[in-house]
Amino acid sequence: MVKVTYIAADGTETTVEGKTGDSVMHTAVSNDVDGIVGECGGAMMCATCHCYVDEAWTDKTGERQSEEDDMLEGAASEVKANSRLSCQIKLTPDLDGLVVHMPEDQF
């Protein structure tokens, strides 16, 4: 199992355990974490899974793909350098302890 901590815009932290291979979005949705919606089910069609990867983890989660970039630029607000679609971050043992922050307007 891989632990992921989700930090809401108001500072509320929720730590859950996900399975290797599952996405950060799926892990949030299946554990009822507020702030990650995942409306399209991970098909890169909605950007309601927008998150900010904590600065300490950006090297491990890697770069966003160009399709991800396009969707974020077109549909998400307040895109930052560490913005990702959480449906595109798959859990690996290396990501155990991952911390992501949720945008303010994603409820």
Question: Could you list the residues that contact ligand FES (CB under 6 A)?
Answer: 25, 38-40, 42, 44-49, 71, 85, 87
Strands 98-101 and 2-7: parallel
Cβ neighbours of residue 59 closer than 8 Å, sequence gap 6 or more: none
Strands 98-101 and 83-85: unpaired
- Closest residue to ligand FES, judged by C-beta, is 87
CB of 8 vs ligand FES, minimal distance in Å: 18
CB of 62 vs ligand FES, minimal distance in Å: 16
Amino acid residing at 32: D
CB of 51 vs ligand FES, minimal distance in Å: 10
